[in-house]
Structure 1
């Protein structure tokens, strides 16, 4: 989805040079896509190309697409563990609960209920197969889907409620987020459970899509990934202005633009 890509682009220049204000040039010459966008687009390709009814076949397509788009954009700043996974001739899941699980998964939210959850799970399990990753991925794609096409205030209330409940009794100490009080912006936390709540917080505090991305970036920490996850949610809550959609395209490599265009033609309700 474009919301994740836009958040990634706008936040890219602040990942290791945090800015704690919303007053900055949104699309700057120094902006670029990172691994967040490359892998989001890779999942778009997998959804377009893969058999979403067959687990083994779809997982193979996902792996092939992740590796293919990595070769198209190897300079994306991929994490060490995921880089080793991409470089492997036989990549295996490595029990990760890094925020990469959610930064790439938003395209699954366009799918129908049932297919959505299955595809998100399969696309995550190929690498980030820790129960924490799987729980937050399911929560995230469900949220992005559920807040689409309802009033923004209702969407925000849904997100507030979502932050209050225990995702798993078995892992309650690890999964539980006690509302906004346990969200700590400014900490460079690359875990999924340390990133998604902060991204949701940005949506709750914002007035529109652009304000969401600016707010997410102003928190500091892993700015591009927080903004990518917040941008995906904000796309569903607020929509994206056409001017921002058009402007972001010049930052997407030509080798990837056709995939984005095909995906949005296939799923126009999230365009």
Structure 2
């Protein structure tokens, strides 16, 4: 095991968990006053399926040093927890795998009438993978693709996962790359298609309100209407973990997922205090099964 890779990925995973749990606080309209005043809610902040699945990504890398799709699928199914608010498509896949023994490949291809899911689920969990392979962007693309198709086979979903993973890798290994330069660098590694085109459109957006309106904030829970906005926030606010998450949550939409993606990318950056300590103490801790050094079989 490469200790540097593990440390980078664990930092990203913690950032993703904190972002996820923070964003989930604002799904309830009762908390919107705190959102407007940027007042932190008391803990514990509980994370969602975004973190539950990111934990499996980290655990598989920690045990195998690469994405073993069979092991990853088993981990997703084994740790499926209905109370973590999974999307209906992924929930169906994991329930059928665990209860009926169906193979992930068959189930993933069935989504959306055989087109495969274009949801943001593959993107929301992948940032630790980008941090893990930050020294090899070609490998980031390859492994992110492998991790995505276990549940999301549509090209948009795969492209969204690749884009987030590349952004996390750049945050970790090239933190000086920001703004338009970051968006261009991510787009250059993202597969051709709608997601890459929208990331390139993001470079011309100047404020968060316009970004939310033109790029989308996950109302459709698709990669296309989630990932470009997250990358815009990172490009423009990524020097500050708290400001990034507040900006995303204030835009509304699928805020636990947008903040999880942003938190995972920013959390991959160098420095021991990337995530504010008072945010970490409020967040539900990561599960022991995810961070243990015992091999995942």
Q: TM-score, normalised by structure 2?
A: 0.73
Tell me the residue number matched to 1:236.
268
Whether 1:43 and 2:77 are equivalent positions in the alignment is no
Of 181, 191, 202, the match for 1:158: 181
Call closer, same or farther: CA 1:241–1:167 in 2, change over 3 Å.
closer
Tell me the residue number matched to 1:268.
none
Call closer, same or farther: CA 1:105–1:135 in 2, change over 3 Å.
same
Call closer, same or farther: CA 1:151–1:63 in 2, change over 3 Å.
closer
Whether 1:128 and 2:160 are equivalent positions in the alignment is no
CA distance in 2, matches of 1:80, 1:186: 19
Between 1:140-149 and 1:74-83, the stretch displaced more is: 140-149
1:9 Cα deviation after fit: 0.7
1:127 Cα deviation after fit: 1.0
Call closer, same or farther: CA 1:69–1:86 in 2, change over 3 Å.
same
Whether 1:209 and 2:221 are equivalent positions in the alignment is no
Whether 1:79 and 2:93 are equivalent positions in the alignment is no
Tell me the residue number matched to 2:7.
none
Call closer, same or farther: CA 1:164–1:43 in 2, change over 3 Å.
closer
Call closer, same or farther: CA 1:261–1:202 in 2, change over 3 Å.
farther
1:99 Cα deviation after fit: 0.7
Determine if contact 1:98/1:133 at 8 Å carries over to the other structure: yes
1:50 Cα deviation after fit: 3.5
Determine if contact 2:124/2:161 at 8 Å carries over to the other structure: no
Call closer, same or farther: CA 1:125–1:202 in 2, change over 3 Å.
same
CA distance in 1, matches of 2:49, 2:267: 20
Between 1:130-139 and 1:196-205, the stretch displaced more is: 196-205
Call closer, same or farther: CA 1:193–1:187 in 2, change over 3 Å.
closer
1:146 Cα deviation after fit: 1.6
Call closer, same or farther: CA 1:159–1:42 in 2, change over 3 Å.
same
Determine if contact 1:209/1:238 at 8 Å carries over to the other structure: no
Call closer, same or farther: CA 1:262–1:213 in 2, change over 3 Å.
farther
Determine if contact 2:15/2:275 at 8 Å carries over to the other structure: no
Tell me the residue number matched to 2:77.
67
Of 94, 104, 107, the match for 2:125: 104
Determine if contact 1:33/1:252 at 8 Å carries over to the other structure: no
Q: Which runs of 5+ in 2 are unaligned?
A: 1-12
1:13 Cα deviation after fit: 1.9
CA distance in 2, matches of 1:156, 1:258: 36
Structure 1 residue runs of 4 or more that deviate by more than 6 Å after TM superposition: 163-166
Tell me the residue number matched to 1:142.
166
Call closer, same or farther: CA 1:186–1:106 in 2, change over 3 Å.
closer
Tell me the residue number matched to 2:285.
252
- Deviation string, structure 1 residues 89-146 (Cα, Å, up to 9, x no partner): 2132131111111111112111242443322111111110111111221122112112
CA distance in 2, matches of 1:236, 1:59: 23
CA distance in 2, matches of 1:246, 1:187: 25
CA distance in 2, matches of 1:227, 1:241: 12
CA distance in 2, matches of 1:65, 1:189: 27
> Cα RMSD over matched residues?
2.9
